Amino acid sequence: MARRAESGQTQQPGTTRTLLAGTEGGGRVRRTVLSGGLRVVTEAMPTVRSATFGVWVRVGSRDETPSLSGASHYLEHLLFKGTRRRDALEIAAVMDAVGGEMNAFTSKEYTCFYARVLDTDLPLAVDVVCDMVADSRLRAADVEAERGVILEEIAMHDDDPGDAVHDVFAGELFGDSPLGRPILGTVESIESIARTAIAGYYRRRYRLQDMVVAAAGNIDHTRLVRLVRKAFSAAAEDAGDNPPAPPRVRGRAPASRSGVRTVHRPIEQANLVLGVPGLPHSDDRRFALGVLSSALGGGMSSRLFQEVREKRGLAYSVYSYTAQYADTGVFGVYAGCLPKKVDQVLDICRDQLVSVADRGLTDEELARGKGQLRGSLVLGLEDSGSRMSRIAKAELVYGELLSVDEVLRRIEEVTLDDVRAVAAATLGRRPTLAVIGPFEDHDFSAAVA
**pLDDT, tens digit, 9 for 90 and up, residues 317-338:** 999 999 999 999 999 999 999 9
pLDDT band at residue 6 using 50, 70 and 90 as cut-offs: low
CB-CB contact of 116 with 101 (8 Å):
yes
The percent of residues above 70 in pLDDT, for the chain, comes to 96
CA triple 269-433-347, angle to 5 deg: 75
How far is residue 370's CA from residue 391's CA, in Å, rounded to a whole number? 23
pLDDT 10s digits, 194-208 = 999 999 999 999 999
Q: List active site positions.
A: 76
Q: Looking at the predicted structure, is the pLDDT value of residue 305 above 70?
A: yes
Residues 270-279: what's their mean pLDDT? 97
Q: What is the pTM of this model?
A: 0.94
Binned at pLDDT 50, 70 and 90, residue 2 comes out as: very low
Task: Report pLDDT for 251.
Answer: 62
In this prediction, residue 23 has a pLDDT band, given cuts at 50, 70 and 90, of: very low
Higher pLDDT, 11 or 215: 215
Adjacency order of strands within the sheet including 101-106: 16-20, 29-33, 39-44, 211-217, 50-57, 111-118, 101-106
Average pLDDT in the chain: 94
Q: Output the pLDDT for position 9.
A: 54
pLDDT recorded at residue 425 = 96
Quote the pLDDT of residue 14.
Answer: 73
> What pLDDT band is residue 306 in, cutting at 50, 70 and 90?
very high
pLDDT 10s digits, 389-403: 999 999 999 999 999
Lowest mean pLDDT across 115-129, 175-189, 226-240, 319-333:
226-240
